[in-house]
A and B are shown apart, each in its own frame.
Chain A
Amino acid sequence: SAVISQKPSRDICQRGTSLTIQCQVDSQVTMMFWYRQQPGQSLTLIATANQGSEATYESGFVIDKFPISRPNLTFSTLTVSNMSPEDSSIYLCSVAGFPGYTFGSGTRLTVV
């Protein structure tokens, strides 16, 4: 299965600023997925990122708040914009593979 490197592993940010999270995969993949896990809760899909096209966002998530880049088949970034304390969560990227989906180790974001 694919190996995912996600950076940063954690960060503490001031409200009103933005943070860009990077996801690097060791093999070429068509789709990459970004999830959010709020404290004590399950994972929620934010968007699906395909190389060469705009990301597809789930209900409740918008591009202005969570812009995504997918410049090639092994890399993607998620930016959390104009952050507020409610954005404090773990953000994870994921790719489809065999036998199942592989997840990064996550970025633990705290907004103060």
Chain B
Amino acid sequence: DAKTTQPTSMDCAEGRAANLPCNHSTISGNEYVYWYRQIHSQGPQYIIHGLKNNETNEMASLIITEDRKSSTLILPHATLRDTAVYYCIFETSGSRLTFGEGTQLTVNP
């Protein structure tokens, strides 16, 4: 089965960029990579997604390597409210999302 690998935890200083890596070496050519975050066991919140090209929206940027085996989520100016668990996810056939274990990002003042 498709699987993502993320560091268990990361720290970032407030105001600095947070770069969260994800390995997905088994991804297939038509599987999207999604990033979500979850705060205090609330429902996961959509951040961004992509297939091949780099993507940017008002929340973050997504950098996908050319071979699609890894990606990086970038929060350009982290705030304390960005402290959360960040999930790198595959969207496989049938719109099924396969969650990895996630990265606990802690933004420090």
Chain A residues within 8 Å of B, Cβ to Cβ: 1, 4, 31, 33, 37, 41-45, 48, 56, 58, 90, 92, 94, 96, 99-106, 108
Contacts and interface: CB of A to CB of B under 8 A. Distances in A.
Contacts, number: 54
Contacts of A43: 44, 87, 97, 99
Contact of A101 (B41, B57, B97): B97
A44 B46 contact: no
B43 interface: yes
A58 B95 CA distance: 13
B82 interface: no
Contacts of A108: 41
5 shortest A-B CB distances, which residue pairs?
Answer: A103-B43, A100-B46, A42-B99, A43-B99, A105-B43
